[in-house]
Structure 1
Amino acid sequence: MKNVFIIADDTTGANSSAILNKPLGYNCVSIYTKINEVKENSVYALSTNSRGIEKEQAYKVVKESLETLKGEDGIYNKRVDSTLRGNLGSELDAFLDYFPNKKAIVVASFPSSGRTCENNKLLVFGELLEKTDVAKDPKCPVHTSVVTDLFKQQTSRKIDNIILNDVRSDKFSSILKDKYNKNDIIVIDAKHNSDIDLIAKTCVDLNLDIITVGPGPFTYYYTKNCKMKEAYKFYGLIGSVTLLSMNQMKYAQQHGAYIYELDAHKILTEGYEQYLDDCYKEIIQISNDFLIITSSCLNKKSKLDLNKYCNNTQIPEDISNLINNRIAKLFIDVITLAKPNCVYTSGGDTTVEFLKQAESFGLQMNNQIIPLTVESTILGGPFANLKIVSKGGLIGEDDTLVYIRNFMKVGM
């Protein structure tokens, strides 16, 4: 996943913006000197302490901060104060001069902190910005709530805005694309986090080359939507035969998953090796990154009668273990070739058999995604360090499998 680089005009802003991205799986680092080393999967928030200085000096320190990154590939954010104090235009000019092919999308809202933008005006808990105490700030007073005007005070670039009604309309995508083509800076209204998420998703869907500008939430949602677009292989093995497991697979199928159904009867016949080899050849041709292999048949109402397959010395538990043994071996062969980012197992016996064949000696517990559903890292064996999510067959709701996959791909 792409790194995120935040340039803020003060340290508290850098900290608060960086930490928003922690649930997305990033290491979040706040720096107040310069970035000496860039590591993968990281958010770097650099404070320039430039809010109260002259605009020319603010431009210079921001430009120098960007130059230290030497064009690192990533998501770039100009973090602005949630009450729009400081050198807004000059610092954004530094960004746009350094990245001449990018445009700036400004979403000044921070709904959970009472900051919303409507009709191109910033409100603080419903009150116009210039009517709040920020107007009396001794260093950076603000005397208007019109967001575009605040940026125009220090930049001559083309700037326009999109009002909330247009954001929520069916024409938003075409409006945004048109404004993007005609302007350098676009200010967009947002009242709720859902508005910000929609703006971010539309930017990503349109493949716009942008600098995110705002106090934090817009960059979070933009990064989240970028991650949703990235390739992420999530392969599952489901041995559970509960109705809930069936419903979870059906729901996943409706939301993009490929469900590969094995024939449990053929797994238990003398020709099972050839059958599983044929299945393997079919599975490795599937191009879907959300792949579930199951020994259950989604459209059959009756369960397999294990007693029919027992000899004089066997009980149904033995037959169930035999199925898990054989499907786990198939799954091992598939993931050895496919190298997924994460594997998923449902059913306690299925999970144990998979880990046994994976030559693992244990799991490093990382997160509880939902109650009784754990995200871990495999310890030992050829799949050491591979992420695994294990869940019981009677856990969750119909959408739980999709939720787990999205959690692993994007984060909370």
Structure 2
Amino acid sequence: MTGNAVLVIADDLTGANATAAGFARDGLRAVTVGADQGAGVVAEFASRFDVVVVSTDARHANPADAAARVTETVRAGWPVKLVSNRIDSTLRGNVGATTEATLKAVAAESGRRAVALCMPAHPQAHRQTVEGAQLLDGVRLEDTELARDPRSPVHQSGIAEVLRHQADLRVTHLPLSLVTGPADAMRQAVREQLAGGADVIVADALTTDHLDRVARAAATAGDADTVWVSVDSGPGSVALASALGITRHAEGAPVLAVSGSATRLTREQLAKLCDELPVSVVRTVPGPEGPDVVPDVDATAAALDVALSTAGPDDVVLLATVLDEADVVDLDPGAAERIPAALARVVRRSLERHTVDGVFSTGGDITAALFAELAAHGLDVQEELVPLAVAGTFVGGPWAGLPVVTKGGLVGDADTTVACVQHLRRAAEASRRHVRTAQSRVSITTPIRRTT
């Protein structure tokens, strides 16, 4: 399966946010998408984030509508490496309908057999699964106040019964005796249940370690014809993603440095950057006006795309108009005005297709052009690294929250650009541990959420 990492479909926004936070703690870039957003927004964010958590707001919808929202979301976010149906930890809502819809949609998109690993336990929130029943603080759900919930009363805690109430699914069970026993025995049990035609495997769990053990058993028991779908309350998805090798693979992305300055100090700083850090240099491609004047946006964007596609997470991709004295030319006012705008368009096109850990810009005109082209409302200033070199994050626009450092072309000393890029690395590492809020670039036409 190709594509980005994880698509989570939650039936309410609070559950979506909590699940996204769990993935963010494991180092993946997670974003939540509200039910009022269209399928185009889901597709766009799937190309920009490691984990997209979509709230369909379907907990209290009729089962058919809840299933339809799930199907639409899977289609919009595909392809991904893992799809999760995030259910309520107390089994309220359309658990069976959404699970069946998720399995059918994943099977249709992947062309493979989809099987659900159902781990609804949330140990840190005192939700446990024992003998296939969901407990709240050790009490069956039907014996708690949830039985009197005005919108979705819970009358039973048996997970298989809840699933079968809305769906025709073959449900099997991994008891606590297997979950806590030898790993080989649990793995063999999973293989036997798969061979027996299980649609859903429900696993007992009291602790997060139990969830991890179940996930590892499933990940190693499946075959090439089987694709796992997670059905859980949040932690199970994180455990299965890790077991499948998804969570820990996110090591970051390149830093993009953009220089529109021709000053001698800037040239010294860029030379020091190339000497001290792994840098892929992208030179602007001359446009029809002649060499070294206004860049050709299409050709330069293509070159930048190649560099970003091949760059590693520790690399810096440098887009520069001038690197040495031979590049310095006299510009007429018109060309001097058009160059920053052209560079900014190049950057926008590439950022629409590639993830970066941060953007460094040097030169006042290019910085202003970037803010305008990327539709940033401003900069959330965090600190001044050196006088007139400022670090922060974009405010507003499609790249809100992206770490940024800006400085003038005559600012700092020879080491300043290296220091700015290293600051971006540290900021990006911290940023990956937070759930993102982001603005889409597409118009919202048809929301996922429908009137029931």
- TM-score, normalised via structure 1 length: 0.57
Equivalents in 2 of 1:112, 1:364: separation in Å? 40
AA partner of residue 94 (structure 1): A
AA partner of residue 84 (structure 1): L
Query: Is the 8 Å Cα contact of residues 26 and 43 (structure 1) preserved in structure 2?
Result: yes
Partner of 1:322: none
Equivalents in 1 of 2:421, 2:159: separation in Å? 51
- Is 1:173 the equivalent of 2:187? yes
| 1:364-394 Cα distance to aligned partner (Å, 9 max, x none) | 999xxxxxxxxxx99846x9579979xxxxx
- Is 1:54 the equivalent of 2:77? no
AA partner of residue 199 (structure 2): D
Q: Cα distance 1:379–1:105, how it changes in 2: closer, same or farther (>3 A)? A: farther
Equivalents in 1 of 2:208, 2:416: separation in Å? 39
Partner of 1:31: 34
The alignment partner of 1:28 has SS state of: strand
Query: Is the 8 Å Cα contact of residues 190 and 221 (structure 2) preserved in structure 1?
Result: no
Query: Is the 8 Å Cα contact of residues 157 and 185 (structure 1) preserved in structure 2?
Result: yes
Equivalents in 2 of 1:384, 1:221: separation in Å? 33
| 1:125-165 Cα distance to aligned partner (Å, 9 max, x none) | 01111101111112211111111111011111211111111
Query: Is the 8 Å Cα contact of residues 118 and 231 (structure 2) preserved in structure 1?
Result: yes
AA partner of residue 178 (structure 1): E
The alignment partner of 2:237 has SS state of: helix
Equivalents in 2 of 1:202, 1:386: separation in Å? 40
AA partner of residue 227 (structure 2): D
Q: Cα distance 1:129–1:40, how it changes in 2: closer, same or farther (>3 A)? A: same
- Is 1:227 the equivalent of 2:241? no
Aligned CA-pair RMSD? 4.0
Equivalents in 1 of 2:17, 2:88: separation in Å? 12
Q: Cα distance 1:61–1:2, how it changes in 2: closer, same or farther (>3 A)? A: closer
- Aligned-residue offset at 1:218: 0.6
Query: Is the 8 Å Cα contact of residues 176 and 204 (structure 2) preserved in structure 1?
Result: yes
| 1:222-269 Cα distance to aligned partner (Å, 9 max, x none) | 223323674979xxxxxxxxxxxxxxxxxxxxxxxxxxxxxxxxxxxx
- Is 1:64 the equivalent of 2:83? no
1:43 to 35, 51, 62: 51
Equivalents in 2 of 1:191, 1:115: separation in Å? 8
Query: Is the 8 Å Cα contact of residues 23 and 247 (structure 2) preserved in structure 1?
Result: no
Query: Is the 8 Å Cα contact of residues 77 and 213 (structure 1) preserved in structure 2?
Result: yes
The alignment partner of 1:98 has SS state of: helix
The alignment partner of 2:166 has SS state of: coil
Equivalents in 1 of 2:99, 2:169: separation in Å? 10
AA partner of residue 18 (structure 1): A
Equivalents in 2 of 1:379, 1:219: separation in Å? 42
Larger RCO, structures 1/2 (Cα 8 Å, 6+ apart): 2
Partner of 2:96: 89
Give the 5 Å matches for 1:289-328.
none
Give the 5 Å matches for 1:198-347.
198-207=213-222, 209-225=227-243, 226-227=245-246, 230=249, 341-342=313-314
Partner of 1:238: none
Equivalents in 2 of 1:384, 1:206: separation in Å? 44
Q: Cα distance 1:67–1:210, how it changes in 2: closer, same or farther (>3 A)? A: same
- Is 1:76 the equivalent of 2:67? no
- Aligned-residue offset at 1:27: 3.2
Partner of 1:10: 12
Equivalents in 1 of 2:246, 2:102: separation in Å? 23
Partner of 1:19: 21
- Aligned-residue offset at 1:81: 0.5
1:161 to 146, 167, 173: 173
The alignment partner of 1:213 has SS state of: strand
Query: Is the 8 Å Cα contact of residues 232 and 340 (structure 1) preserved in structure 2?
Result: no
Query: Is the 8 Å Cα contact of residues 135 and 141 (structure 1) preserved in structure 2?
Result: yes
AA partner of residue 190 (structure 2): L
**Alignment gaps of 5+ in structure 1:** 234-330, 344-360, 367-376, 390-406
- Aligned-residue offset at 1:339: 7.2
Q: How many residues align?
A: 277
Q: Cα distance 1:130–1:166, how it changes in 2: closer, same or farther (>3 A)? A: same
The alignment partner of 2:215 has SS state of: helix
Equivalents in 1 of 2:390, 2:205: separation in Å? 41
- Is 1:193 the equivalent of 2:193? no
The alignment partner of 1:102 has SS state of: strand
- Aligned-residue offset at 1:85: 0.7
AA partner of residue 192 (structure 2): D
- Is 1:105 the equivalent of 2:117? yes
- Aligned-residue offset at 1:104: 0.7
The alignment partner of 1:106 has SS state of: strand
What is the aligned-residue identity percentage? 22
AA partner of residue 98 (structure 1): A
| Structure index of larger Rg | 1
The alignment partner of 1:209 has SS state of: strand
Moved more, 167-176 or 54-63: 54-63
- Aligned-residue offset at 1:213: 0.7
Query: Is the 8 Å Cα contact of residues 2 and 74 (structure 1) preserved in structure 2?
Result: yes
- Aligned-residue offset at 1:211: 0.9
- TM-score, normalised via structure 2 length: 0.52
Equivalents in 1 of 2:118, 2:390: separation in Å? 41
Equivalents in 2 of 1:22, 1:229: separation in Å? 11
1:136 to 140, 145, 148: 148
| 1:5-45 Cα distance to aligned partner (Å, 9 max, x none) | 11111122212211211122313223222341123333222
Q: Cα distance 1:54–1:232, how it changes in 2: closer, same or farther (>3 A)? A: closer
